[in-house]
């Protein structure tokens, strides 16, 4: 399977704990996006990378969120000191470039208790 | 006003019927347009791109009206498996993709 893969599929954590998610994009895609989605809403932009460079980060994102793509391939999204409001589906997507179609991974469903 | 707006539905439609829904966008600089389909608790999957000239893929037809700033999706001969949420997305500039909240479609036997 050469699609976008995300790990883990589900994560349950206690408030205050740190969590890290991983995304492996389609190999020839140089753009990688992280989104967050809650029920009844469209995906909400968090950040995106062009190769290893993080080019934009949503102003809605607090300092507790950080993302990396160290070698321009896989990416990680870390949430520190999780809060109940962080509970959501975290989606990763990749594309070939500007205005190209996005392909999504299956997402990581985070539940903060 | 939201940048991309969709009627949340749900649209309850009998199997075999034709259904259409629109998505309006506010930024006239929007460049590319797509329809995605999302099943409950799954990731969005690309349904089709939307071109200025309109495009068709089997039972699905997408159209773009730049003057009125909306895109549309038409589904003919609807199937039970078409039940899903349909999300529209527009791209602006170098990286921004603005998503609608989706229209829920329920096809009834």
Tokens of A26: 């389609």
Residue A1 has pLDDT above 60, yes or no: no
**Which residues of chain B lie closer than 8 angstroms to A96, CB-CB?**
none
Are A93 and A72 contacting, i.e. CB atoms less than 8 angstroms apart? no
* Nearest residue, CB atoms, A42 vs list B45, B91, B102: B102
Q: What is the mean pLDDT of chain A?
A: 92
The span from the CA of A88 to the CA of B2, in Å, is 21
Residue A56: per-residue pLDDT: 87
Which of B95, B100, B104 would you mutate first to test chain A, the one with the most A CBs within 10 A?
B95
Q: What is the mean pLDDT of chain B?
A: 93
CA of residue B72 relative to chain centroid, distance: 6
Q: Nearest residue of A to residue B87 by CA position?
A: A42
Q: Nearest residue of B to residue A88 by CA position?
A: B41
Residue A2 has pLDDT above 80, yes or no: no
Tokens of A85: 């409001």
Q: In the structure, what pLDDT confidence band is assigned to residue A99 with cuts at 50, 70 and 90?
A: confident
Q: What is the pLDDT of residues A51-87, one digit of tens each?
A: 999 988 888 778 999 999 998 899 999 999 999 999 9
Residue A43 has pLDDT above 70, yes or no: yes
* Nearest residue, CB atoms, A101 vs list B34, B41, B43: B34
What's the angle, vertex CA B92, arms to CA B73 and CA B67, rounded to 5?
Answer: 55
Which of A49, A55, A99, A106 would you mutate first to test chain B, the one with the most B CBs within 10 A?
A99
Residue B68: per-residue pLDDT: 94
Q: What is the pLDDT of residues B3-13, one digit of tens each?
A: 899 999 999 99
CA of residue B33 relative to chain centroid, distance: 9
**Which residues of chain B lie closer than 8 angstroms to A32, CB-CB?**
none
Q: Do A31 and B89 touch (CB under 8 A)?
A: no
A41 near B CB under 8 A: yes
**Which residues of chain A lie closer than 8 angstroms to B44, CB-CB?**
43, 91, 102, 104
Q: How far is CA A7 from CA A49, A51, A95, A109, in A?
A: 18, 20, 19, 10
A10-19, A89-98, B55-64, B94-103: segment of lowest average pLDDT: B94-103
Residue identified by tokens 């909400």 is A44
Residue A25: per-residue pLDDT: 96
Q: What is the pLDDT of residues B43-91, one digit of tens each?
A: 999 999 998 888 999 999 999 999 999 999 999 999 999 999 999 999 8
CA A45 to chain B, closest CA, distance in angstroms equals: 8
Average pLDDT for residues A34-53, to the nearest whole number?
A: 92
Residue B2: per-residue pLDDT: 78
Average pLDDT for residues A17-26, to the nearest whole number?
A: 97
Average pLDDT for residues B33-47, to the nearest whole number?
A: 94
Q: Do B101 and A41 touch (CB under 8 A)?
A: yes
B8 near A CB under 8 A: yes
Residue A21 has pLDDT above 90, yes or no: yes
A9 near B CB under 8 A: no
Residue B96: per-residue pLDDT: 80
Selection from B88, B104, B109 nearest residue B30 by Cα: B88
Q: In the structure, what pLDDT confidence band is assigned to residue A100 with cuts at 50, 70 and 90?
A: confident
């Amino acid at each position: 399977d050469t699609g976008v893969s995300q790990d883990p599929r589900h994560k349950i954590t206690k408030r205050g704990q740190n969590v890290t998610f991983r995304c492996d994009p389609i190999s020839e895609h140089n753009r990688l996006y992280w989104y967050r989605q809650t029920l009844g809403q469209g995906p909400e932009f968090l950040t995106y990378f062009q190769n290893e460079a993080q080019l934009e980060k949503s102003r809605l994102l607090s300092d507790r969120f950080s993302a990396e793509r160290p070698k321009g391939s896989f990416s990680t999204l870390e949430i520190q000191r999780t809060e109940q409001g962080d509970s959501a589906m975290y989606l990763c997507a990749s594309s070939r470039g500007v205005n190209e179609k996005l392909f999504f991974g299956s997402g990581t469903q985070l539940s903060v208790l | 006003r939201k940048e991309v707006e969709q009627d949340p539905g749900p649209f309850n439609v009998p199997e075999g019927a034709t259904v259409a829904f629109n998505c309006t966008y506010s930024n006239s600089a929007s460049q590319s347009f797509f329809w995605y389909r999302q099943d409950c608790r799954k990731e969005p999957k690309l349904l089709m791109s939307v071109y200025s000239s309109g495009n068709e893929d089997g039972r699905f037809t997408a159209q773009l009206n730049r003057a009125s700033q909306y895109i549309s999706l038409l589904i003919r001969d609807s199937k039970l498996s078409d039940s899903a949420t349909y999300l529209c997305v527009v791209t602006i500039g170098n990286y921004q993709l603005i998503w609608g909240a989706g229209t829920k479609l329920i096809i009834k036997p």
